[in-house]
Amino acid sequence: MTEKKIKFPQKGTDRAEVLARMQSYRDKDANWHDGRTWSLVYHAGDEHYEFLKKAHNMFFSENGLNPGAFPSLKRFEAEVVSMACDLLGGDADAVGNMTSGGTESILMAVKTYRDRARAQRPEIKQPEAILPMTVHPAFEKAMHYFDVKPVHVAVREDFRVDVEAAKKAITKNTILIVGSAPQYPHGVIDPIAELAAVALTNGIGMHVDSCVGGFLLPFVRKLGAKLPDFDFRVPGVTSMSADLHKYGFTAKGASVVLYRNRDLRRFQYFQYTDWPGGLFGSPSMCGTRPGGPIAAAWATFNAIGIEGYIEIAKRIMENTKKLQDGIRAIPGLYVLGEPVMSVFAFASENADIFAVADQMEARGWHIDRQQNPACLHLMVTPAHTPILDQYLSDLRESVAYVAANPNAATQGAAAMYGMMAKIPDRTQVRAFIQQYMDTLYDV
């Protein structure tokens, strides 16, 4: 199929008309504001949303590329990082940087360990990193970009990584072990202390991916939940990633990558000294660094504070419990593993779960599907408070419909997802994704 081309407009259009057209396109997007989505957007309420826009837009044009020109942004970033280190158990030596999101934080961490290995262990020609099968795909992307070999390790029946398998996977080329707190698919925390002990014994870096949980787990713990240590309080943990724009409820895109000390962070930096335009140094992937997300993160931390985050966490966990109890009360449905916070998945013993997803989407919900095993995924926020009863009612109806109509599994998206999960040759699936993405980004 030949892609349709949109020509550059010859003349400008009235700005009011442009905005009206944009709104008409937005009206067809997933309805995150009313809690109809379970990922992608983290909404803490309309009052905070308006505050975020003001803080962000105050620094709409500023550029974090040059902190000398914008010392306000330098201050905001330094203080956000310091507050994040404090929250996540870092001592006075802990440092880090803000990034555009969890993927960039993970990219920078992998790049850091690769470059440290190049400097300190030059005998390693093909560096390797040990990754649980449940780790976020951003690590796969980072391995691909920075030529680090991913060594995948299986998880146990409780979906937490097998520490003994991780030990056996270590070779003379291993530079990094990764654990998640929690991992995204099922919301469970990997055995961070045990993994970190293995890393420490072998002189290997240990990164904890807490992009989802970094700004919720500390407050869930303050509510009385018994959680294992997962951050810099654990000896052997050398770096972390945590997203501000998730449960930190800051503006997109904002994350932090944190290190136990400056000696490790220095391998993150890029420097070039021979450019006619001057000396060049950059802390992360991006050149231009939008000032809005940096400023909005600082504003959010200061506006909400520990007490405010505890109140938000309380509401989130109440929503989560109501959802999990309601799901378990539907015949045949069960929650996978033992999730520690507001991210979890559920499956069915007797109904095709992908067909259930189709029925839920027909009722106006944006549903996230997962594989190995087939299940549906929820990420709960305060925005879901008013719609929990409706979701559970629709879910009960959808399960009953699929149970009464087994042919639903052979129709719609359920048929495609079911087929894709069963294809043994994953290169065929990758080819399908490439073709789909070509179509997705056509005009």
Give the model confidence (pLDDT) of 146-193 as tens digits: 999 999 999 999 999 999 999 999 999 999 999 999 999 999 999 999
Q: Report the chain's C-alpha Rg in angstroms.
A: 23
What does the block give as tokens for 206?
């240990």
Per-residue pLDDT reduced to its tens digit, 207-246: 999 999 999 999 999 999 999 999 999 999 999 999 999 9
Quote the strand ranges of 218-299, DSSP E: 239-243, 255-259, 270-272, 280-282
Q: Which stretches does DSSP call E strand in 194-275?
A: 205-209, 239-243, 255-259, 270-272
Pick the residue with more confidence: 415 or 352? 352
Residue 232 CA to residue 238 CA, distance in Å, equals: 7
Average pLDDT over residues 358-381: 95
pLDDT at 78 exceeding the cut of 90: yes
Residue 345 has pLDDT above 70, yes or no: yes
Per-residue confidence at 62, pLDDT binned at 50, 70, 90? confident
The token pair at 95 is 């440092």
Numbered ranges of CATH 3.40.640.10 in the chain: 55-302
Q: How many other C-beta atoms can be found within 10 angstroms of the C-beta atom of residue 95? A: 21
Q: What is the pLDDT of residue 440?
A: 64
Residue reference for tokens 């291993």: 174
pLDDT at 424 (0 to 100): 72
Q: Read off φ and ψ for residue 208, nearest 5 degrees.
A: -105, 115
Of 3.40.640.10, 3.20.20.80, 3.30.70.1400, 3.40.50.620, the CATH number of 55-302 is 3.40.640.10
Task: Report which DSSP code applies to 273.
Answer: -
Percent of the chain scoring above 70 in pLDDT: 95
Percent of the chain with pLDDT over 90: 81
Looking at domain 306-440, which of 3.40.50.11540, 3.40.50.300, 3.90.1150.10, 3.40.640.10 is its CATH number? 3.90.1150.10
pLDDT-based confidence at residue 205 (cuts at 50, 70, 90): very high
- pLDDT at residue 16 is higher than 70: yes
Residue pLDDT, tens place only, 31-43: 888 889 988 889 8
Residues of the chain with CATH 3.90.1150.10: 306-440
429 phi/psi in degrees, rounded to 5 = -70, -40
Sign (positive or negative) of CA dihedral 117, 213, 74, 61: positive
The answer to whether 85 touches 258, Cβ cutoff 8 Å, is yes
pLDDT greater than 80 at residue 311? yes
pLDDT of residue 134: 97
Q: Are 420 and 428 in contact (CB under 8 A)?
A: no
Per-residue pLDDT, averaged over 94-103, amounts to 96
Contacts of 90 (CB under 8 A, 6+ apart): 231, 232, 258, 260
Task: Assess whether pLDDT exceeds 70 at residue 416.
Answer: no
The Cβ-side half-sphere exposure at 125, using a 13 Å CA radius, reads 0
Contact 91, 82 (CB under 8 A): no
Cα–Cα distance measured from residue 423 to residue 326, given in angstroms and rounded to the nearest whole number: 33
